[in-house]
Amino acid sequence: MLIKPFRPGDSARIAPSVITPEHVFEDRRRLLRAALAAGITGIGVSWPRAEAAPAALSYQRNERYSIADPPNSYQDVTSYNNFYEFGTDKSDPAANSGRFKPEPWTVTVVGEAEVTGRFSFGDLIKPHALEERIYRLRCVEAWSMVIPWVGIPLGDVLRRFRPTSRAKYVAFETVYRPEQMPGQRSNVLDWPYVEGLRIDEAMHPLTLLAVGVYGKSLPNQNGAPLRLIVPWKYGFKGIKSIVAIRFTEKQPPTSWNVSAPREYGFYANVNPLVDHPRWSQARERPIGRGAFNARVATQMFNGYEAEVASLYAGMDLRRNY
């Protein structure tokens, strides 16, 4: 299957019947895990999986903000993830997130806003209509996927907290649960993961607070139960499993920038003209097209230049990478 040369439109023609149904996929993992556990303990005990199956959501497709490229398979989207809280391999999040509990969920809102406090997932999401948007996700590692997210424009949620004029930035924080997130037990990054946006970036209509993918609630490995999607920025800006939102006057610290400031900036806008110090950002590998498909040119702002370039008018994007 893999060796077959890819022709444009091929992935769109993958019949749903060919894709491994999710419960079979999950079952296979459970079986493997049970086998492993049996091998280790020798008494054939498997540990229980607390994870609930992603639930179907009701939503409307937002065509205006969706790209026409065929989306990656559900399998690709849920098995090839960067979510260091569950391990640094792309396969780790799917393999190690089974014990993570995204319910119940509370988000703390603090800082320069009139309304602050603790809000349940329902409080946050229920007042809004969910919409589906097909976005290209461009990873800083020079690969990309096309993903049908389900969510709410972040600005619609943030406005309910009535940020004051001092709110120049919005900071986000991922949950810290080393007992459920094995990656947090090693210090490859400073935990908890933090990210941030300028307030105008956060309020931009493209910025999405995602609660689902492929019409269902987010699987744990994709950042359940809610995560950020900023399609014109590198994927690491899309902080996952958010538990805190803070309106601030000063630019907040961001995890990858803290870890390697020369390599990852606060802005992290997709830009084919500004290379990562160690690799080129001019071309990217579209995931899911087999082994014999060439890289494609990366687009300025990941193809969202018309919508967002004005946010950075007059800024030196080489310095503000």
Partner 1 sequence: MRLLKPALFALCLLPLVAVLVRVFEFGGATLGANPIESIQDTFGRWGLRLLLVTLAITPLRDWCGAPWLIGLRRMLGLFAFGYVVLHFVTWLILDQSMYWPGIADDVSRRPFITIGFIALLLLLPLALTSTNRAMRRLGRRWKSLHRLSYLIVLLGVWHYYWQAKADTREPILYFVIASVLLGWRGYRLFRHGHRFNPFS
Using the minimum distance from each CB to partner 1, give the nearer residue, 75 or 299. 75
285 binding partner 1? (CB under 8 A): yes
291 binding partner 1? (CB under 8 A): yes
Residue 259 DSSP code: H
Q: What is the DSSP string of 228-250?
A: EE-TTB-GGGS--SEEEEEEESS
Look-up of token digits 């007059």: 314
Sheet holding 106-111, edge to edge: 117-120, 106-111, 242-248, 169-174, 194-198
Using the minimum distance from each CB to partner 1, give the nearer residue, 59 or 236. 236
And the tokens for 79?
């098995």
User: What string marks each residue from 210 to 239 as x (binds partner 1 by CB under 8 A) or -?
Assistant: ------------------------------
The helix (run of H) or strand (run of E) holding residue 145 is: strand 143-153
Residue 21 DSSP code: P
Report d(CA 164, CA 169) in Å as an integer: 11
Query: What's the closest the beta carbon of residue 108 comes to partner 1, in angstroms?
Result: 27
User: What string marks each residue from 39 to 78 as x (binds partner 1 by CB under 8 A) or -?
Assistant: ---------------------------------x--xx--
Query: What's the closest the beta carbon of residue 259 comes to partner 1, in angstroms?
Result: 6
Report d(CA 110, CA 133) in Å as an integer: 29
250 binding partner 1? (CB under 8 A): no
Query: What's the closest the beta carbon of residue 143 comes to partner 1, in angstroms?
Result: 6
320 binding partner 1? (CB under 8 A): no
Region near partner 1 per CB under 8 A, out of 111-119, 212-220, 277-285, 300-308: 277-285
Identify the CA nearest to 302 among candidates 206, 227, 193, 202. Answer: 206
Report d(CA 212, CA 117) in Å as an integer: 24
| Apex 149 CA angle, 80 and 77, nearest 5 | 15
Query: What's the closest the beta carbon of residue 272 comes to partner 1, in angstroms?
Result: 12
270 binding partner 1? (CB under 8 A): no
Query: Residue 227 corresponds to which amino acid?
Result: R
Which member of 41, 60, 88, 320 binds partner 1 (CB under 8 A)?
A: 88
- Please give the residue ranges that form the binding site for partner 1 (CB under 8 A): 1-3, 72, 75-76, 79-80, 84, 88, 90-91, 141, 143, 145, 186, 188-189, 256, 259-260, 278-280, 282-283, 285, 287-288, 290-292, 294-295
